[in-house]
Structure 1
């Protein structure tokens, strides 16, 4: 019996079994560095002020959750699902006013972190495109 292909979701990042993005980016240590730099940039970049205000003062929990999520999203261990259950990104972000400006501010932080930490230009472009799809999916305002 032929199964219908599963439609891609906003949080699906294509990865092959032979070369998952998690391994290509450098594994756990590299994902932790990316998360750390992303949140540093959120504190530093003036255009990120509004999205930074949506986060708690202490970013410890936010950093850990993003690390856990990215681990599985990039093709590594599904740490978020194992520890916290299904990500349900859209549902968890609904309380926050995420508009195009917020999406773009989030992307500015992530793209800069990627440009500083990921030397593989093909991987960086793939990740940026996938992050954009996910960030755009989380918009709940124009």
Structure 2
């Protein structure tokens, strides 16, 4: 393994096991917190497909295996979210749940800060409604 590979956020976070934990905790919060009810409402009753897709996306996005691209092609995130009403409130709820989940994964503070900023920017890009 090269030095560059060793420094990916994916590996610094703990690889597949920790990305799976992050996704599980994110969806736990989204599914149970009243602060995320509008976000939860735009998801299917069964979250298993959403969990799988988020895991596969985050794997590649954080520098691990490009599982999402291998199965679905380019993420085209904004386009894939057009069928859903993503307003500022839904964006903020998504970020709220993801931030809570990120604090459950052991990682260097600087890495968490950088991932949070990137997540915030990505979530803002998904807004497609007033």
Report the TM-score when normalising by structure 1: 0.85
Corresponding residue for 1:120?
Answer: 108
Corresponding residue for 1:131?
Answer: 119
Larger Rg: 1
- CA–CA distance in 2 between the matches of 1:118 and 1:73? 18
- CA–CA distance in 2 between the matches of 1:41 and 1:106? 10
**Which consecutive unaligned segments of at least 5 residues does structure 2 have?**
none
Corresponding residue for 1:38?
Answer: 26
Corresponding residue for 2:88?
Answer: 100
Corresponding residue for 1:56?
Answer: 44
- CA–CA distance in 2 between the matches of 1:135 and 1:118? 22
1:19 corresponds to 2:7: yes
1:141 corresponds to 2:91: no
Report the TM-score when normalising by structure 2: 0.93
1:110 corresponds to 2:105: no
- CA–CA distance in 1 between the matches of 2:15 and 2:54? 14
Over aligned residue pairs, what C-alpha RMSD do you find? 1.1
Q: Secondary structure at the match of 1:117?
A: coil
